[in-house]
Chain A
Amino acid sequence: MTLGYVLLQNLRRNPTRTCLTGIAFALPMAIFVAAISFVVALVEIGKANERELRLGVHHKTTLINLIPQGHRAKIEALDPDRSRLAAVCGMRWFGGRVPNAPGVIQSLAADPDTFPTVYAEVDMSDADIENWTKDRQACVVGTGIAENNGWKVGDRITLTSSVPPYLSLEFHVIKIMTAPSRTNVLYFRRDFLSESLKEAGNERYADCNIFWVKCNSAAGLRALQQEIDATFANSPDETKSEDELTFAAGFAQAAGDIPGLMRVMAIVVVAIVAMVAGNTMMMSFRERTRELAVFKAIGFPNWRIVAMVLGESVMLALLGATAGIIPAVILLTAVPMRKLMPGFLPIAQLTVSPLAVGISVAIAGAVGLLAGLAPAWHTLRMQTVSALRRVGE
């Protein structure tokens, strides 16, 4: 009579209970997988952005205020031998709208000369860079946006700006960006925007909303952050510099703090499944007190009996978790999440990371152990004689 056999028999003994527990365990577990996948995805994107060592310099009052393009040269001058910063790329918000379609596409005009360096993860090949340099109307599009609008390389697209003076410009798609952190943005050349703004009579046609400074080291980034803000302090256009993580956190907060919500949900789920499993284990222990006492009486060592109790509860938890994880994985893979996500969360497709599945299984195992602890402890302390006398409470 192997342990595995006993465990299986025990789970089969009360199929109703095993099913109910399994379902009550599986549903929250499914949420857990989704929540953890989400957090993992955001953390990964955050980490990827952190690795890029970019510093965002924007106006102290708000991102919407423009800062003179002359700031770029002043920032570059802080490090003439390029030991700390690699390049500076000025950007201006365009906020393009596809005619007759709802929603605004995150579109930004970027300095053409430094864009490929500052956004290395866009991974522009020599041919891409040649197109980008040659074609004033070139644009690169995140894969999420491209899929939503059915755009492909070579398409000509027209976008209408959502900010005064509401220009309508035509762009040529030269590349689809697949980097996870760039799936929901579109970049085009800032010189093209400046000329168009100038023609429209906009006085501040050359100014930017933000400068992204590509740094060479984390230490350099911190130092530059201080220096840049000190340089412009008490000038007419004071700046605030933030690393990309902090910058993005402000937006994540504004979207209702979904990452925070997911973390809370994950904790709530763990609490629920722990109690569900614990409850079931207590029940089955109560029913089997006499049986376990018999095992003890006929000379089974304590560890075997404890293993039996703990094994059953871990097995139940893992079964429940599997029943939750598999449908969740299928669902998350099949449903395009980008349709559900607010536009400024850079998640085009919520994929289930192996890490998230690993964490979920580990949590389920831990919960199973935890749920079995109390009954196992009772078993150890059980007086065989009195247990045999007891009629299930």
Chain B
Amino acid sequence: MALPLSYNWRNLLIRRTTTVLTVLVIAVVVGVFSWMLGFRGALSRSLSVAGDPRTLIVLRQASTSETNSAIPPDDYNKLTQLNEEIAVDDQTGDQLKSPEMIVQVSLPRTRDLGATNANVAVRGVTNSAFAVHRNVKLLGAKPADGAMEVIVGVQAAKQFAGLAIGDTINLGYGGNRGYRVVGYFSADGGPLESEIWGPATMLMNAYMRNAYSSVALRLKDNVDPAAAIRRIEGPGIELTARTESEYWQEQTKNIGMYLMIVTFLVGVMCIAAAFSIANTMFASVAGRSREFAMLRTIGFTGRHLLTSVMIESLLLCFLGGAIGCLACGAWLALVGNTKDMFGQSTFTTLAFEIHLTPLIVGIAIGAICLVGLGGAIVPARRAARTQVVTALREA
């Protein structure tokens, strides 16, 4: 029979200071770790939602993002040739293609009470945009035709100031045309939620533009996206295209850099935590050699002792992990869970929210338990190898 859990538990209680300090080290590491996982998760979720492999983003040749692309109406009309590829609307029979224009507006962040501004994307769209971007759901009114009205993505409304329903934002190349916010829309948490949408014709007038920035197309179900892209890039059309998923992955490449830095830092801290746990367990084992000898004498095997020490370390990790996750949750709830990142080539901001999902908590605690096992293995083996006679003779 194995040693009872209460034995480990009481052991931890006896050396209270050491236990508390070790648990706190673990908690801090897990707190940072789970924040990072949350950040990562929020970002990749946002991007995976964006990625509809049946949607293509068409840009001017050699452009890398909608912001620096320009598609004149003539080029847009060439896309009509793609009868084979583009899906059609069941009711009207129109091709599902959405010409769009992107501009930016600088708005104060609510996160720091307007100390800094973010570049928010403003997308001029036609009615077909809602048929092509299927995940976009209107939550309220739609801009009336020909009115100076816009709708706002839920994430943008939350993270940037002055986008409440009824507010007016100034757009246009002179920045002096007021557009009223009439409703919100959601996009399953994708990047479109960080944008402001308005009627394309009005916005193009306001910005004195005669070219679209990009065209989004919905492909028929049996069409291979790669083949469609080849057609678009080939003679006759000479534009460039990417699937929506690829497009957003590309736009946020620079964020990967940031993630790499954070991951590296957290990794180093995890290693440090392992050493700290090892230290604690060594001390705990060293102080108990007589106890272990006694346990061996009454019939517990070395394996029992090894398991027992490992379990003790897991208890520490569990406790620390739970506190760390709670602290991270509290931080997100109190300090704020909104974050935005800059797509370097789009020059616009992708806003998202960090949430601690059960999965993240599980991964964080699981990871720290592995770290704890790593840290406890050497002291545990030392405990298992306790020489009964010598240990009993020790002072």
* B182 is an interface residue with CB less than 8 A from chain A: no
Say yes or no: B29 contacts A253, CB within 8 Å. no
Instruction: Point out the residue from A27, A63, A255 that lies within 8 Å of B271, measured CB to CB.
Output: A27
Say yes or no: A28 contacts B272, CB within 8 Å. yes
Q: Please give, as numbers and ranges, the residues of chain B lying within 8 Å of A254 by CB-CB distance.
A: 118-119, 340-342, 349
Nearest B-chain residue to A60, judged by Cβ:
B175
Q: Please give, as numbers and ranges, the residues of chain B lying within 8 Å of A275 by CB-CB distance.
A: 21-22, 24-25, 28, 276
Q: Please give, as numbers and ranges, the residues of chain B lying within 8 Å of A11 by CB-CB distance.
A: none
Say yes or no: A272 contacts B275, CB within 8 Å. no
Among B187-205, those with CB < 8 Å from A are none
Whether A342 contacts B268 in the complex (CB less than 8 A), given A104-B344, A162-B68, A249-B116, comes out as no
Number of chain B interface residues as a range: 35 or more
* A307 is an interface residue with CB less than 8 A from chain B: no
B259 to chain A, nearest CB (A): 9
Nearest A-chain residue to B254, judged by Cβ:
A342
Among A28-70, those with CB < 8 Å from B are 28, 30-31, 59-66
Q: Please give, as numbers and ranges, the residues of chain A lying within 8 Å of B273 by CB-CB distance.
A: 24, 272
How far, in angstroms, from A46 to B198 measured CA to CA in the complex? 38
* A258 is an interface residue with CB less than 8 A from chain B: yes
Interface size in chain A (residues, C-beta < 8 A): 62
Pick 27 A–B contacts, CB within 8 A, sort by A: A17-B283, A20-B279, A20-B282, A25-B272, A61-B172, A61-B175, A62-B103, A62-B105, A63-B104, A64-B347, A66-B173, A104-B344, A160-B62, A164-B68, A237-B174, A249-B116, A256-B342, A268-B28, A268-B269, A269-B269, A272-B272, A275-B24, A276-B25, A279-B18, A282-B17, A283-B18, A283-B283
Nearest A-chain residue to B25, judged by Cβ:
A275
Whether A250 contacts B118 in the complex (CB less than 8 A), given A63-B106, A268-B28, A282-B17, comes out as yes
Among B138-191, those with CB < 8 Å from A are 170-176
- What are the interface flags for A254-290 relative to B under an 8 Å C-beta threshold, 1 for contact and 0 otherwise? 1110100100010011011001101110110011000
* B70 is an interface residue with CB less than 8 A from chain A: yes
* A192 is an interface residue with CB less than 8 A from chain B: no
Say yes or no: B64 contacts A238, CB within 8 Å. no
* B265 is an interface residue with CB less than 8 A from chain A: yes
How far, in angstroms, from A256 to B263 measured CA to CA in the complex? 14
- What are the interface flags for A220-261 relative to B under an 8 Å C-beta threshold, 1 for contact and 0 otherwise? 000000000000000011101000001001110111101001
Say yes or no: B341 contacts A17, CB within 8 Å. no
Say yes or no: A276 contacts B17, CB within 8 Å. no
Instruction: Point out the residue from A164, A237, A251, A278 that lies within 8 Å of B21, measured CB to CB.
Output: A278
**Besides A63-B106, A237-B175, A342-B344, 19 new A-B residue pairs in contact (Cβ under 8 A), listed by A number:** A23-B275, A24-B273, A60-B170, A64-B104, A64-B119, A64-B347, A236-B174, A240-B106, A258-B261, A265-B265, A271-B24, A272-B28, A276-B21, A279-B18, A279-B276, A283-B279, A341-B257, A342-B254, A392-B287
